[in-house]
Structure 1
Amino acid sequence: MRRPFGKQHRRSRTPGRPRRTSRLLAALVTAATVLTGTAHAAPESGRSAPLLDPQDPNGAWAGYSVPGTRSTPAPQVPKGAVSGMDVSGHQGDVDWARAWADGARFAYVKATEGTGFRNPHFDQQYRGSHAVGMVRGAYHFALPDRSSGAEQAHFFVDNGGGWSKDGTTLPGALDIEYNPYGDGCYGLDPVAMSRWIADFSNTYHARTGRFPVIYTTTDWWNRCTGANPDFAPNNPLWIARYGPQAGELPAGWDYQSIWQHSDRGPLPGGQDTFNGNANQLRRFAS
Structure 2
Amino acid sequence: MIGGLPSAVWAADDVREIFSVQELRDLWLPPEITGLSVAPPPPPFVLEPGGEAFSGVYGADVSHHNTDCVGPNCKRCEIDWSKANAHGVRFVYMKATTGVGAVKPDVSFPIYWKALANFHTKGQIYRGSYHWLTSDAGHDGLKQAKHFLSVVNPKDAQLAPVVDFEEDPVSRDSDYYESHPQTCRIKKSSAGDVYYVCDGWVDVPKGERLQRLRDWLETVAKATSMIPIIYTRTSYWKEMLGAEGESLVKQYSLWLAQYPVEPRKWHDAHPGNGWRMPNLPKDAAYPPGKTGDKYPSRHFWQFTERGKFKTPVITCNGTPADKRSMDMNWYPSSEADFKQAFGLAQQALTKK
- Aligned counterpart, 2:176: none
Q: Contact 1:135 / 1:282 at 8 angstroms: preserved in 2? A: no
Residues 1:224 and 2:282 are matched in the alignment: no
Alignment partner of 2:134 out of 143, 156, 159: 143
Alignment partner of 1:188 out of 204, 221, 232: 204
Shift of 1:186: 4.3
Structure 1 residues 265 and 71, CA, compared in 2 at 3 Å: closer, same or farther? Answer: closer
- Matched to 2:43, the amino acid is R
Residues 1:174 and 2:159 are matched in the alignment: no
- Aligned counterpart, 2:314: none
Shift of 1:131: 2.8
- Rounded Cα–Cα distance in structure 2 between residues aligned with 1:270 and 1:249: 22
- Matched to 2:337, the amino acid is Q
- Aligned counterpart, 1:82: 57
Q: Contact 1:163 / 1:171 at 8 angstroms: preserved in 2? A: no
Residues 1:258 and 2:247 are matched in the alignment: no
Q: Contact 2:128 / 2:160 at 8 angstroms: preserved in 1? A: yes
Bigger shift: 241-250 or 99-108?
A: 241-250
- Aligned counterpart, 2:82: 97
Alignment partner of 2:94 out of 109, 121, 124: 109
- Rounded Cα–Cα distance in structure 1 between residues aligned with 2:282 and 2:136: 22
Q: Identify unmatched segments of 5+ residues in structure 1.
A: 1-34, 53-64
Residues 1:49 and 2:18 are matched in the alignment: no
Q: Identify unmatched segments of 5+ residues in structure 2.
A: 1-15, 29-37, 68-77, 171-197, 261-275, 285-295, 310-324, 345-352
Shift of 1:51: 6.1
- Matched to 2:230, the amino acid is I
Instruction: Tell me the secondary structure at the aligned position of residue 192 of structure 1.
Output: helix
- Aligned counterpart, 1:241: 258
Instruction: Tell me the secondary structure at the aligned position of residue 118 of structure 1.
Output: coil
Higher normalized strand content (fraction of residues): 2
User: Under a length normalisation based on structure 1, what TM-score does the superposition of the two structures give?
Assistant: 0.70
- Aligned counterpart, 1:280: 337
- Rounded Cα–Cα distance in structure 2 between residues aligned with 1:89 and 1:95: 15
- Rounded Cα–Cα distance in structure 2 between residues aligned with 1:208 and 1:78: 35
| Relative contact order higher in (CA < 8 Å, ≥ 6 apart) | 2
- Rounded Cα–Cα distance in structure 2 between residues aligned with 1:161 and 1:66: 41
Shift of 1:184: 5.4
Residues 1:128 and 2:115 are matched in the alignment: yes
Instruction: Tell me the secondary structure at the aligned position of residue 307 of structure 2.
Output: coil
User: Under a length normalisation based on structure 2, what TM-score does the superposition of the two structures give?
Assistant: 0.58
- Rounded Cα–Cα distance in structure 1 between residues aligned with 2:254 and 2:231: 6
Shift of 1:231: 0.9
- Rounded Cα–Cα distance in structure 2 between residues aligned with 1:266 and 1:102: 10
Once superposed, what is the RMSD of the aligned Cα atoms? 3.2
- Rounded Cα–Cα distance in structure 1 between residues aligned with 2:111 and 2:84: 14
Q: Contact 1:229 / 1:251 at 8 angstroms: preserved in 2? A: no
Q: Contact 2:135 / 2:168 at 8 angstroms: preserved in 1? A: no
- Matched to 1:280, the amino acid is D
- Matched to 1:238, the amino acid is W
Q: Contact 1:94 / 1:124 at 8 angstroms: preserved in 2? A: no
Q: Percent identity?
A: 25
Shift of 1:189: 2.7
Shift of 1:144: 2.6
Shift of 1:282: 2.3
Q: Contact 1:80 / 1:276 at 8 angstroms: preserved in 2? A: yes
- Matched to 1:204, the amino acid is V
- Matched to 1:79, the amino acid is F
Deviations 1:51-73 (A, max 9, x none): 69xxxxxxxxxxxx97523289x
Aligned pairs, number: 229
Q: Contact 1:112 / 1:118 at 8 angstroms: preserved in 2? A: yes
Please say which structure displays the higher CA radius of gyration.
2
- Aligned counterpart, 1:156: 148
- Rounded Cα–Cα distance in structure 1 between residues aligned with 2:297 and 2:41: 27
Shift of 1:110: 0.6
Structure 1 residues 123 and 51, CA, compared in 2 at 3 Å: closer, same or farther? Answer: farther
- Rounded Cα–Cα distance in structure 2 between residues aligned with 1:131 and 1:179: 34
Shift of 1:98: 1.6
Structure 1 residues 258 and 162, CA, compared in 2 at 3 Å: closer, same or farther? Answer: farther
